[in-house]
Amino acid sequence: MCYFRSRTILERFPVKNTELLKPASREEAELLEKLDPKRLPNHLAVIMDGNGRWAEKRHLPRVAGHRAGVKAARVVIETCARLNLPCLTLYAFSLENWRRPQAEVDFLMRLVREYLKRELPAIHRNNIRLLVIGRSAQLPEAVGKDIADAMRQTAKNTGMKLVVALNYGGRAELADAFNAMLDHVRTNGLFAFRADEQTISDHLYTAGLPDPDLLIRTSGEMRVSNFLLWQIAYAEIYVTEALWPDFSRVRLLEALVDFQKRERRYGGLGALRPEHDAHSRRG
Ligand code: FPP
């Protein structure tokens, strides 16, 4: 992966977007010029959809779509890291995805291991911290071990957080959070315990991460598919017809430019974000 190496130097000096990210085409250059580096999302979450349809259109097996999907993920990770986005979450495998044919599930698990083996050195070199969210304990043992090793290896990195949702479900995450709170109450005999919004956030897999402010979904489907249900309460949603393997740097920059045009009101009249625990927020 050709992540740029001189990131610390670039971070110290204010630079133009076109210097951070050498545009490969006129279209990219124009989009980069439009992008305000001070108003990028803190956390971009992506539902990568359409690998199967991409393959079908080319009369290829579905797994060819997943392979092409990894290449698209690589471009998005690299671009977000170069733009200094603090956090990027990719939805790679849902709890529901076990319903797919066994051969496809096995392929996806192999692909995750292959991905980690090939890309981890570059991820680490570029100061990216890898986090995996979901029910990791239910993943095949070898996958779980590779994930744990990768998270350990990158744990001290201070750059972009790359969060991969694997064996993830939003409702399952909430159930896990509630059970963790109940365990805490029982263990400590806290009969007067009450949870507020912050307490719930603190027990999610994403504890400590900012809520996504932009959610991108590819392939035109208007669904959130059980992804980060609590966390996307105020996220801007951007749906593109592009199938995930076709989601290029240009498509990502278009989404970011579109995000910067939106007026974020958080239920109020202006663009200011209220305190986290404001119960009266309505979108
Ligand atoms: C959706 O396509 C995509 C997935 C099920 C997730 C797999 C994602 C990748 C292989 C890319 C990134 C991987 C990593 C490890 C970062 P789909 O099969 O649902 O497509 P369809 O809706 O057209 O059938």
- Strands, sheet with 161-168, edge to edge from the N-terminal-most edge strand: 129-133, 161-168, 87-94, 43-47, 214-217, 236-239
Task: Check pLDDT > 90 for residue 17.
Answer: no
Single pTM value for the model = 0.90
| Gap between the Cα atoms of 159 and 8, Å rounded | 10
Domain for residue 19, yes or no? no
**Interior/surface letters 42-65, b for 16+ CB within 10 angstroms, e for the rest:** ebbbbbbbbbbbbbeeeeeebbbb
- Could you tell me the distance, in angstroms and rounded to a whole number, from the CA of residue 17 to the centre of ligand 1? 30
Q: Is residue 35 in a domain? A: no
* 87 lies in some domain: yes
54 inside domain = yes
Domain membership flag for residue 246? yes
Number of Cβ within 10 Å of residue 181's Cβ equals 17
Position 18 scores a pLDDT of 73
Q: What tens digit of pLDDT does each residue of 61-89 get?
A: 999 999 999 999 999 999 999 999 999 99
Nearest atom in ligand 1 to 56's CA: 23
How many domains does the chain fold into? 1
Q: Model confidence over 214-242: pLDDT tens digits?
A: 999 999 999 999 999 999 999 999 999 99
CB 46, CB 87: distance < 8 Å: no
CATH number at residue 152: 3.40.1180.10
Residue 218: which domain range? Answer: 40-261+268-280
What atom of ligand 1 comes closest to residue 49's alpha carbon? 1
Atom in ligand 1 nearest the alpha carbon of residue 73:
12
Nearest CA residue ID for atom 6, ligand 1: 92
Q: Can you spell out the DSSP letters for 154-205?
A: HTT--S-EEEEEEEE-HHHHHHHHHHHHHHHHHHHT-TT----HHHHHHTST
Judge whether 123 lies within some domain.
Answer: yes
> Which of 46, 47, 51 should be mutated for ligand 1, with most atoms under 8 A from CB?
51
197 CA from centroid of ligand 1 (Å): 32
What pLDDT band is residue 267 in, cutting at 50, 70 and 90? confident
Give the tens place of pLDDT for each residue, 49-66.
999 999 999 999 999 999
Domain membership of residue 4 (yes or no) is no
**23 in any annotated domain:** no
State the Cα–Cα distance between residues 211 and 235, nearest whole angstrom. Answer: 8
Helix (DSSP H) and strand (DSSP E) numbers for the chain = 10, 6
